[in-house]
């Protein structure tokens, strides 16, 4: 027995490959070798005083050898070669030995201990490399020769050379430097330059962009679903100190309960909670005075529910009650109601055969002196009150809905529209009912120019006629 | 309003979108070009909600003319509104990218003026990034609901991935919560994207220089728990979308208590477990050869929250078991609880050389606690006698099963979720 001899090599994986090829060809058994990369730490069980094997000298006399390993295996082996554990060289030689002389399909045998060790080292390095690509954080240094982006990163394994090509490919148009404890590398737009490792704190200490990045990190976090373990599994603590955003984590977790509570508290009211158990028109009308989903009803004389035929084929939706409606408790009674009545008559529609209601059930107004002045309801108020309108729609099930004005259109269509886009069009909402949008009679009242006023009036009539025919209603003979 | 304020508002408004993946697209680095995409995405950071940050995920604006009840940006909500300019977004993307914070941009938006107007502005951003800044990173554009087919197709010239959100499992859900949207409209967008992708991939085979078109494919998102629709409804819809439009992914987003949400919606968020189970079931559909009808039926339309869907299926189909690990075909191995795709492939290779024992299986990281009732191995497996035990379900529930996290399930290869 010759005893264990030391294989000394340099240049990482390439060097190992050259040595392994020679030794393999000479059939030197794995157990007779101790692998030692020059300049690197000693492998655990190094017996000092081992004889060194002069493998470069043996290279000339190598017997013919066909290496029986796949490209894929070599790629994986290269990854393993970046592992911090110096036993990796021994393991690689063991495997290539067995692949060559014992079992060419060894890698299929995932339950083999050496294969498992290989796979787990490979996985470890790949993951670490992936994290390096992900977690390197550049800081910009402005200089006369152009900006340099510099990062300090601490990978688990000395794998800067393994990941540098990635950064070169991605950031070829900018100058950058990556510092790690083992090595450093600089890209000057032409080539990579290697330097020694350095201690933390050598790179730039700040970058004004980090404030925006932190702002993004904070805002994209959803406090309603805190899963700290999942976060730590993918972003282990050991990487945190070089990632500026991680300084915010503690604060975010601490505030999350409060933020969720605030989210829930801030949920706007909806009339949904005030709807009666059974949503028929009579129950709905009876329940309306109880609604306090917003403050409009309380400030008005009363809430005004819809009226008309309970199974109408045609439903008209206005904006909100006005002065007269507020007093009488019935929709479309005042001057606007009159305009509507005229238009209905012109379109040969009997008011008793249709259903009339408003998007918002109360008269929103401000008080100026002794007068109450109409105020347009906000989209939020429309959204709050919408539950009543929806129930009316469900109870009446009309064929056609005419929205008088854009507030009604917002409530019925769930979308803010411009009149010029939808005028004279029949819109479909799901397969429920057809929708026509036209002027609100109160709007017609306010138009000063007589020509424009007539035109708007005509358009309202046309819309009503169209609605009547769509609803399949017969002409009302008066 | 300065850019930081806008970012705070428009990132906050984007956080309900579950997708952040930057995968599926290969755009190698090129001379003079900033950035590349590698096929597998990279997650650059993780927030305490366990989700990854892969892309700068923001809205162009949270102004919106629509009133979708599940959405914080709807017109009737009184949140703070903001709008980025085209240059704001371009600048943020480039600066973040150069510091290696992100893989690229995921741009979505509320609808301003009109769907087409909004879509045009989003396209302008992507175009500017690609042409003026020679940006080679990832770009995911959301197809604005209601935007013209032509514009949606145009977006694919600059984007790596396109997505049109299906939003809710059924049309009736949309009628209720987003009356202005229809599945027909959304699916028209999907199919026109699909058409272009298919055309582009075919051209690539026959011609030399074909421009990339949405190389990362298309995905969609469904909100879970905002309406009473069942898991069966949800998976039926997903299944159809995968089949009809070749989607890369369907994302499920458990309905979160969104600030200023519609009280008609459940305030308590739909349990995250349900979301997790849906992802597991989705996986079974795509990689394990299950059909959704096997997992659920009208008699039991909800996924079991206590058992993962495969184990649950196994308990209900015990006649299928035990499966002989050393002989059964791949499709059968895939149906064993606790067996993942990768494990199955390892088993198939290994068993050509050696018969596997229980101990071998634990070496392969099979969750033995789950699997042992359903398999026979080369050695004696006593647990298999309990296969027909009436308490099997209870036993399986009790085993402290180490569930893979969602992130393990999605794998690094997906660049997050
Ligand atoms: S306006 Fe509508 S929501 Fe407001 S209190 Fe009256 S009925 Fe309720
Ligand atoms: S269109 Fe989009 S942004 Fe607008 S309310 Fe609906 S879901 Fe929200």
Query: If pLDDT is split at 50, 70 and 90, which confidence band does B405 have?
Result: very low
B254 bridge partner residues: B224
**A429·B180 Cβ contact <8 A:** yes
Strands A427-429 and A5-9, sheet pairing: unpaired
Instruction: Count Cα neighbours of A136 within 13 Å in the Cβ-side half-sphere.
Output: 33
User: Which atom of ligand 1 is nearest to A387's Cα?
Assistant: 3
Q: How far apart are CA B258 and CA A225, in angstroms?
A: 11
Q: What is the pLDDT of residue A60?
A: 83
A315 shares its domain with A414: yes
Which tokens in the block code for residue A158?
């000395």
Residue B74: its chain A contacts at CB < 8 A? Answer: 383
A90 shares its domain with A160: no
Q: What is the pLDDT of residue A48?
A: 60
Q: Could you give the number of structural domains in chain A?
A: 4
Q: What is the DSSP string of B183-211?
A: HHHHHHHHHHHHHHHHHHHHHHHH-S---
Q: What is the pLDDT of residue A476?
A: 56
Question: Is the pLDDT assigned to residue B406 strictly greater than 90?
Answer: no
Q: What is the pLDDT of residue B409?
A: 36
Q: Is A61 exposed, middle or buried (0-12, 13-18, 19+ CB in 10 A)?
A: exposed
Ligand nearest to the CA of B109: 2
pTM for the complete prediction? 0.87
A196 shares its domain with A226: no
CA angle B90, B92, B96 (to 5 degrees): 125
Pick the range with the lowest mean pLDDT from A54-63, A289-298, A423-432, B217-226. A423-432
Cβ–Cβ pairs < 8 A, chains A and B: 247
User: Which atom of ligand 1 is nearest to A298's Cα?
Assistant: 5
Query: Exposure pattern of B342-376 as b/e (b: 16+ CB <10 Å)?
Result: ebbebbeebbeeeebbbebbebbebbbbbbbbbbb
Q: How far apart are CA B146 and CA B158, in angstroms?
A: 20
What's the Cα-to-Cα distance from B361 to each of A375, B287, B346, rounded to whole Å?
73, 21, 10
Residues A134-172 pLDDT 10s: 999 999 999 888 899 999 999 999 999 999 999 999 999
Average pLDDT on B12-37 reads: 85
A173 bridge partner residues: none
Q: What is the pLDDT of residue B413?
A: 29
Q: What is the pLDDT of residue A163?
A: 96
Question: Is the pLDDT assigned to residue A2 strictly greater than 70?
Answer: no
A395 shares its domain with A432: yes
**A108·B352 Cβ contact <8 A:** yes
How many beta carbons lie within 10 A of that of residue B76, not counting itself? 26
Residues B371-398 pLDDT 10s: 999 999 999 888 888 888 888 888 888 6
Contact between A158 and A131 under an 8 Å Cβ cutoff? The reply is no
Q: Looking at the complex, does the CB of residue B67 fall below 8 Å from at least one CB of chain A?
A: yes
Average pLDDT on B296-303 reads: 93
Q: What is the pLDDT of residue B417?
A: 29
- Which strand (E) or helix (H) includes residue B129? helix B115-131
Question: Is the pLDDT assigned to residue B268 strictly greater than 60?
Answer: no
**A476 assigned to some structural domain:** no
Q: B73 CA distance to ligand 2 centroid (A)?
A: 6
Q: B179 CA distance to ligand 2 centroid (A)?
A: 11
**A475 assigned to some structural domain:** no
* Percent of residues, chain A, with pLDDT higher than 90: 75
Average pLDDT on A283-311 reads: 95
Q: Is B331 exposed, middle or buried (0-12, 13-18, 19+ CB in 10 A)?
A: exposed
What's the Cα-to-Cα distance from A133 to each of A1, B43, B66, B252, rounded to whole Å?
48, 9, 40, 28
Average pLDDT on A211-225 reads: 92
**Residue bearing the bigger pLDDT, B61 or B72:** B61
**B77·A382 Cβ contact <8 A:** no
Residue B194: left (phi > 0), alpha (psi -120 to 50), or beta? alpha
Q: What is the DSSP string of A65-87?
A: ------HHHHHHHHHHTT-S-TT
Count of residues for chain B? 417
Longest dimension (CA), chain A: 123
Q: Which of B297, B341, B340, B342 is nearest to B317 (CA)?
A: B297
A358 bridge partner residues: A318
Residue keyed to tokens 């009736």: B172
**B75·A173 Cβ contact <8 A:** no
Our measurement of the distance from residue A434's CA atom to the centroid of its chain's CA atoms, rounded to an integer in Å, reads: 35
Q: What is the pLDDT of residue A245?
A: 96
Q: Looking at the complex, does the CB of residue B357 fall below 8 Å from at least one CB of chain A?
A: no
User: Which atom of ligand 2 is nearest to B178's Cα?
Assistant: 6
Q: How far apart are CA B359 and CA A436, in angstroms?
A: 71
A242 shares its domain with A372: no
A408 shares its domain with A300: yes
Question: Is the pLDDT assigned to residue A342 strictly greater than 90?
Answer: yes
A159 shares its domain with A125: no
Q: What is the pLDDT of residue A119?
A: 94
Question: Is the pLDDT assigned to residue B412 strictly greater than 50?
Answer: no
**A477 assigned to some structural domain:** no
- Closest residue of A to B9, CA-based? A219
Q: Looking at the complex, does the CB of residue B206 fall below 8 Å from at least one CB of chain A?
A: no
The sheet carrying A427-429 orders its strands as: A307-308, A355-358, A314-318, A400-404, A433-438, A427-429
Ligand nearest to the CA of A362: 1
Of A226, A242, A266, the domain-final residue:
A266
Which among A109, A219, A421 has CB closest to B7?
Answer: A219
A293 shares its domain with A246: no
**A478 assigned to some structural domain:** no
**A36 assigned to some structural domain:** yes
Q: Mutation test of ligand 2: which of B71, B178, B253, B262 has the most ligand atoms closer than 8 Å to its C-beta?
A: B71
* Atom 6 (ligand 2) nearest CA: B68
Q: What is the pLDDT of residue B398?
A: 66
Q: Mutation test of ligand 1: which of A270, A305, A388 has the most ligand atoms closer than 8 Å to its C-beta?
A: A388
Q: How far apart are CA B36 and CA B136, in angstroms?
A: 5
A36 shares its domain with A109: yes
Q: A404 CA distance to ligand 1 centroid (A)?
A: 19
Q: A311 CA distance to ligand 1 centroid (A)?
A: 24
A150 bridge partner residues: A139, A177
Query: If pLDDT is split at 50, 70 and 90, which confidence band does B399 have?
Result: low
A332 shares its domain with A371: yes
Domain that residue A76 falls in:
5-130
Q: What is the pLDDT of residue B183?
A: 84
Question: Is the pLDDT assigned to residue A429 strictly greater than 80?
Answer: no
Q: Which of B225, B46, B4 is nearest to A221 (CA)?
A: B46
Q: Mutation test of ligand 2: which of B10, B13, B73, B81 has the most ligand atoms closer than 8 Å to its C-beta?
A: B73
- Phi, psi at residue A435, to the nearest 5°? -125, 135
Long-range contacts of residues B311-315, Cβ cutoff 8 Å, at least 24 apart = B311/B337, B311/B338, B311/B370, B311/B396, B314/B374, B315/B392, B315/B393, B315/B396
**A297 assigned to some structural domain:** yes
Q: Which of A138, A128, A132, A131 is nearest to A213 (CA)?
A: A138
Q: What is the DSSP string of B291-326?
A: -HHHH-BTTB-S--SSS-HHHHHHHH-GGG--EETT
Domain-wise residue ranges, chain B = 3-216, 309-410
CATH number, domain of A383, equals 3.40.470.10
Residue A139: its chain B contacts at CB < 8 A? Answer: 99
The sheet carrying A175-179 orders its strands as: A139-141, A148-152, A175-179, A183-187, A192-196
Which among B32, B66, B264 has CB closest to A414?
Answer: B66
Average pLDDT on B360-369 reads: 88
Q: Residue ranges of the alpha helices (H) in A363-449?
A: 379-396, 406-413, 419-422, 441-446
Average pLDDT on A275-304 reads: 94
Q: Which of A259, A319, A292 is nearest to A384 (CA)?
A: A292
Q: A267 CA distance to ligand 2 centroid (A)?
A: 17
* Percent of residues, chain B, with pLDDT higher than 70: 91
Of A266, A287, A305, the domain-final residue:
A266
A289 shares its domain with A392: yes
Of A184, A202, A220, the domain-final residue:
A202
Contact between A61 and A15 under an 8 Å Cβ cutoff? The reply is no
Interface test with B, best of A126, A165, A222 (most B CBs within 10 A): A222
Q: Which of B6, B7, B42, B5 is nearest to B22 (CA)?
A: B42
The answer, yes or no, to whether any atom of ligand 2 lies below 6 A from the CB of B73, is yes
Contact between B228 and B300 under an 8 Å Cβ cutoff? The reply is no
Which segments within A115-250 are labelled E, that is strand?
Answer: 139-141, 148-152, 175-179, 183-187, 192-196
User: Which atom of ligand 2 is nearest to B67's Cα?
Assistant: 5
Which tokens in the block code for residue A279?
């949503």
A182 shares its domain with A297: no
**A299 assigned to some structural domain:** yes
Q: B167 CA distance to ligand 1 centroid (A)?
A: 29
């Amino acid at each position: 027995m010759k005893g264990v001899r030391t294989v000394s090599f340099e240049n990482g994986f390439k060097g190992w490959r050259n040595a392994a090829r020679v030794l393999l060809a000479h059939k030197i058994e794995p157990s007779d070798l101790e692998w030692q990369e020059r300049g690197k730490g000693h492998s655990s069980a190094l017996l000092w005083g081992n004889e060194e094997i002069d493998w470069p000298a043996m290279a000339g006399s190598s017997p013919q050898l066909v290496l029986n390993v796949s490209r894929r295996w070599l790629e994986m082996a290269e990854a393993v070669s970046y592992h911090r554990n110096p036993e990796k060289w021994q393991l690689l030689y063991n495997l290539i030995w067995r692949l060559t002389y014992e079992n060419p399909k060894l890698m299929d045998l995932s339950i083999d201990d050496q294969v498992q060790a290989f796979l787990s080292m490979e996985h470890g390095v790949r993951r670490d490399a992936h994290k390096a690509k992900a977690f390197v954080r550049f800081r910009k240094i402005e200089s006369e020769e152009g900006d340099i982006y510099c990062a300090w990163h601490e990978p688990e394994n000395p794998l800067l050379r393994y990941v540098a090509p990635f950064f070169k490919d991605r950031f070829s148009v900018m100058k950058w430097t990556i510092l790690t404890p083992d090595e450093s590398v600089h890209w000057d737009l032409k080539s990579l330059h290697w330097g020694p490792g350095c201690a933390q704190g050598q790179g730039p200490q700040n970058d004004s962009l980090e404030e925006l990045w932190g702002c993004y990190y904070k805002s994209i976090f959803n406090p309603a679903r805190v899963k700290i373990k999942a976060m730590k599994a993918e972003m282990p603590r050991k990487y945190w100190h070089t990632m500026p955003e991680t300084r915010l984590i503690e604060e975010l977790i601490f505030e999350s309960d409060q933020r969720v509570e605030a989210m829930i508290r801030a949920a706007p009211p909806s009339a949904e909670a005030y709807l009666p158990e059974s949503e028929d028109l009579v129950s709905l009308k009876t329940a309306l005075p109880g609604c306090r989903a917003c403050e409009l009803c309380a400030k008005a004389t009363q809430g005004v529910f819809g009226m008309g035929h309970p199974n109408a084929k045609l439903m008209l939706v206005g904006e909100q009650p006005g002065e007269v409606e507020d007093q009488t408790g019935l929709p479309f009674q005042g001057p606007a109601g009159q305009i509507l009545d005229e238009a209905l008559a012109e379109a040969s529609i009997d008011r008793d055969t249709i259903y009339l209601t408003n998007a918002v059930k109360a008269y929103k107004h401000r008080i100026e002196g002794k007068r109450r002045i109409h105020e347009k309801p906000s989209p939020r108020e429309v959204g709050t009150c919408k539950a009543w309108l929806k129930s009316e729609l469900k109870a009446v099930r009309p064929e056609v809905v005419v929205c008088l004005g854009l507030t009604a259109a917002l409530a019925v269509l769930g979308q803010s529209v411009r009149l010029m886009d939808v005028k004279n069009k029949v819109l479909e909402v799901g397969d429920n009912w057809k929708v026509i949008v036209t002027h609100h009679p109160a709007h017609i009242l306010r138009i000063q120019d007589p020509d424009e006023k007539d035109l708007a009036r005509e358009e309202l009539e046309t819309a009503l006629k169209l609605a009547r025919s769509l609803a399949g209603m017969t002409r009302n003979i008066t | 309003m300065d850019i930081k304020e806008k970012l705070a508002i428009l990132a906050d408004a984007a956080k309900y979108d579950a997708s952040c993946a930057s995968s599926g697209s290969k755009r190698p680095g090129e001379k003079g070009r900033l950035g590349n995409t590698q096929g597998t995405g990279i997650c650059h950071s993780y927030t305490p909600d366990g989700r990854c940050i892969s892309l700068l995920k923001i809205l162009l604006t949270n102004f919106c003319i629509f009133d979708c009840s599940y959405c914080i940006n709807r017109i009737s909500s009184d949140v703070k509104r903001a709008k980025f300019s085209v240059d704001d977004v371009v600048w943020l993307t480039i600066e973040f990218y150069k510091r290696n914070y992100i893989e690229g941009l995921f741009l979505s938006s509320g609808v301003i003026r009109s769907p087409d107007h909004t879509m045009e502005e989003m396209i302008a951003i992507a175009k500017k990034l690609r042409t003026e800044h020679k940006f080679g990173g990832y770009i995911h554009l959301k197809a604005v609901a209601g935007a013209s087919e032509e514009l949606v197709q145009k977006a694919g010239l600059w984007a790596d991935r396109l997505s049109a959100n299906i939003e809710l499992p059924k049309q009736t859900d949309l009628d209720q919560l987003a009356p202005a949207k229809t599945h027909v409209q959304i699916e028209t967008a999907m199919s026109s994207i699909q058409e272009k992708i298919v055309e582009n991939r075919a051209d690539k085979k026959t011609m030399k220089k074909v421009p990339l078109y949405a190389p990362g494919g298309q995905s969609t998102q469904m909100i879970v728990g905002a309406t009473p629709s069942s898991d069966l409804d949800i998976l039926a819809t997903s299944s159809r979308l995968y089949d009809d439009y070749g989607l890369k992914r369907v994302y499920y987003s458990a309905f979160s208590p969104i600030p200023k949400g519609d009280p008609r919606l459940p305030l308590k968020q739909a349990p995250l477990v349900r979301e997790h189970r849906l992802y597991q079931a989705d996986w079974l559909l795509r990689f394990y050869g299950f059909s959704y009808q096997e997992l659920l039926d009208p008699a039991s339309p909800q996924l079991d929250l206590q058992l993962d869907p495969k184990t649950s299926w196994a308990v209900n189909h015990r006649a299928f078991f035990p499966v002989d690990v050393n002989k059964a075909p791949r499709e059968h191995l895939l149906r064993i609880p606790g067996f993942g795709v990768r494990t199955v492939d390892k088993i198939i290779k290994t068993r050509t050389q050696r018969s596997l024992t229980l101990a071998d299986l634990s070496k392969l990281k099979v969750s033995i606690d789950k699997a042992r009732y359903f398999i026979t191995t080369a050695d004696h497996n006593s647990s298999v006698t309990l296969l027909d035990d009436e308490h099997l379900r209870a036993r399986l529930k009790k085993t402290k099963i180490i569930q893979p996290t969602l992130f393990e399930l999605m794998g690094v290869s997906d660049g997050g979720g």
